[in-house]
Structure 1
């Protein structure tokens, strides 16, 4: 039993650390898709967030000191929110195909980021950051037997922020007038329009929120996991977040649960060499695991999880 607990003490904190960026990004997806706009561009928005987060951290570390990682997250949020405007304009105003627009965001995000890194640093990746997102123990909670060391010791500040954002998103979407409008334009935009709700304005706000949260996710991942930015920094994390959103049935708390599941899959791949009964499993299988689980989750749950009814349909005033 002691050995099993030791494994859990080791793997659970890593799982939570990997899940945090997915939580931010998946909840961003929830906002966008609840309003009726498909956002496959989460990967590109995360890439942009990771790039801005790291570069901002490197440039302003002398100015902000210990606060640098947090200000970097804020900068990444703003830039990715602005970057997501391209998807919003194409999808909402010009009524372009939302999937194609999302794919374009993915391609453009990595292209802009890598080109900029090459221009600034003269190589394919940035330098390593010195000020990382801090870890700390949560007073009182860390003393709880069994659960304390598992969940409340050596926790990234960003992981706590992710849980707070998930609860806040649930409250906004299901308990506020804005949330009701958001859901109504995703389910039946014509009825919402009849009630005087500005459909396109709500959708714009939702896509910008999704861009901001995905940017935060990218910056958190880069400043906790890789500590630099290169072509492989956000390696499919945005698609995993998209899967977590669908797996969580377009619900913020569900998306958080699914993100924790994918975080656990990634943690398992990394820490398998320290787990006795998994040492003989070839590491390549374990590295495939998170992506295989993503496909299984999407294949198994996409039929059962009902997306918002008007998702992917541009709204033309006066049409049904």
Structure 2
């Protein structure tokens, strides 16, 4: 197998596994750019994964092939509403953001597993029949070298994730809304002086974060696991959190970091089919994504500077 053939095999898989991480990390960028730490990305992904599978199984007879897309919408709405718990605790009641996020993680997995047991009478859901499938992108698939690597047998979720990252970059850096949101995360008192409602902006940012994390969870459950159980979202939210830090709280940086982690995940799963890697013990490939996550969080490459007001509660009129 030549290097080009390996890339044709590995690159699409890396983008595929990175898609849920990209979307969730972008959600985290919105929340943390507003000044609210969102450790609860894992729990929000869990909620999105559960709602995605539940909706898919319940309404597949109505929506048919379009069921996975409608399930993404349902997951986005429910996870966005679920994120309000974190917003109320950390913004209105000024609770510690990290403690609130951890509570969201614990509550989400407990609630979802309880509902699975109540609805299906066992520890996991049934497997879905309608899932996201691969397809070619017209015209672009015929480009030499790049076509087979990026535009053939592509999952629609991979394209969606990249589009969301680009849109988030445009919104955050080229719109008045993005300017206000970043101002709230850097200097909330100055933003308040300019007439920006700090509390409202932070609520909106946290709900956007929840909605995107819900989409990320539903993408994962409907394209990779195909069901929901206690191990469906197993650290994916924390990897997305690492990606946004590794990407220096920038949408495109977070996307790049998520692609890096996605590459590691793809390598751990399909590495046994690649020459030179097939002889590496499988356990090393399986732990590779988590080792890279730890290294990224430890500041292995560069030093990330968080928004100045990240994790601080704002009290109007008080420095």
Answer yes or no: same fold by TM over 0.5: yes
Match of 1:99 in 2: 98
Q: Deviations over 1:260-319 (max 9, x none)?
A: 000000000011111121122110011100000001111125871110000000000011
Match of 2:43 in 1: 44
Aligned-partner SS, 1:7: helix
Q: Deviations over 1:33-86 (max 9, x none)?
A: 000000000000000000000010000000001110000000000000000000
The 8 Å contact of residues 246 and 302 in structure 1, kept in 2 or not, is answered as no
Match of 1:157 in 2: 156
Q: Moved runs in structure 1, 4+ residues, more than 6 A?
A: none
Match of 2:73 in 1: 74
Match of 1:219 in 2: 218
Q: CA deviation at 1:23?
A: 0.6
Match of 1:17 in 2: 16
Match of 1:129 in 2: 128
Aligned-partner SS, 2:243: helix
Q: Deviations over 1:118-138 (max 9, x none)?
A: 111011110000000122100
Give the TM-score normalised by the residue count of structure 2: 0.99
* Distance of 1:8 and 1:225 partners within structure 2: 21
* Distance of 1:107 and 1:35 partners within structure 2: 24
Q: CA RMSD in A?
A: 0.9
The 8 Å contact of residues 247 and 301 in structure 1, kept in 2 or not, is answered as no
Aligned-partner SS, 2:132: coil
* Distance of 1:128 and 1:44 partners within structure 2: 21
The 8 Å contact of residues 34 and 186 in structure 1, kept in 2 or not, is answered as yes
* Distance of 1:294 and 1:226 partners within structure 2: 21
Distance 1:138 1:57, change over 3 A: same
Q: Deviations over 1:151-209 (max 9, x none)?
A: 10111111111111111100110001110100000000000001110000000000000
* Distance of 2:123 and 2:253 partners within structure 1: 37
Superposed, 1:1-320 pairs within 5 Å as 3-300=2-299, 304-320=303-319
Aligned residues: 319
Aligned-partner SS, 2:312: coil
Q: Deviations over 1:64-114 (max 9, x none)?
A: 011100000000000000000000000000000000000000000100111
Aligned-partner SS, 2:296: helix
* Distance of 1:54 and 1:20 partners within structure 2: 17
Aligned-partner SS, 1:39: coil
* Distance of 2:299 and 2:35 partners within structure 1: 22
Aligned-partner SS, 1:243: helix
